[in-house]
Structure 1
């Protein structure tokens, strides 16, 4: 079974600001990660980084304040979120990782594609997202929501949120 592809569902103005064809740094090995981290500022090194898993299954990284859609070169993704790294025994490992991307709103089940990309790059990782997030779009007011404590109610209008992922259903703001 092929993993779900997530298209951008965030604000149109952020999509328009993302340079087409430019992507975050591809990380396919420990060496790639070490070289990329060396080039980051001290401020960036202390914060989580933006990541996406492109449709080829490659981990791509950008500084934390980067938009996921820019890291993905405006393309659909298999996963997206924030990630931190720690050095252990001369190798980099994943410290914390989430699916926190309000532009792509990937499901927690995107972990399968994320884990496969991390494994291919030779990065030790946790068994799942350390901070999984459930996203739903309100069918009444169309707002994006984060479901907290299994409370499936819209934070804006109070409407019921669906039990299944619906971020890209017709009527979503970005097509």
Structure 2
């Protein structure tokens, strides 16, 4: 489970009781345009327009996964874990795959692009790790490596 770790002002804007649209059997959402998605704690895949915030799509609640998704012809052609509000790890794929399978949507065998997030223990800025380079782009401090718990956004729960 991932708690929201993004800017507090975005969480404050979430309207109570609002969520992204659940994606069901034979989803017809198409267009090649990416959607923002979350997998809620019930394992339901919810989508919203790409420019919306993941925390709004999740109704301000914790999620099992979050990122961006492109659906074409009733199948997933792209799916990532890109969410700086929740910072889901690559292991969140299992929850995405299960939600897509339950919805009857054809999918790839894994994320088409995988993002690794780390908050810097020195300056607390959020970093996207690229090319296995675990160094803060803001202050040059070492970032937590795989196997070490990141300061924020670490996977919690089972």
User: TM-score, with normalisation over the residues of structure 2?
Assistant: 0.91
| Partner Cα distance (1:28, 1:153) in 2 | 41
User: Displacement of 1:52 after TM fit?
Assistant: 0.1
Aligned counterpart, 1:41? none
Kindly indicate whether the alpha-carbon contact (under 8 Å) linking 1:6 and 1:77 is maintained by their aligned counterparts in 2: yes
Q: 1:136 to 1:48 in 2, by over 3 A?
A: same
- Which has the larger Rg? 1
The structural deviation recorded for 1:136 is: 0.6
* Matched pairs, number: 151
- Give the 3-state SS of the residue equivalent to 2:47 in structure 1: strand
SS in structure 2 of the partner of residue 152 of structure 1: coil
Runs of 4+ residues deviating >4 angstroms: none
- Give 2:3's aligned residue: 7
In structure 2, runs of 5+ residues without a counterpart are 154-158
Q: Whose helix fraction is larger, Structure 1's or Structure 2's?
A: 1
- Say yes or no: does 1:121 pair with 2:77: no
Alignment of 1:84-103 (within 5 A): 84-87=70-73, 92-103=74-85
TM-score when normalising by structure 1: 0.83
Q: Out of 25, 29, 34, which is 1:48 matched to? A: 34
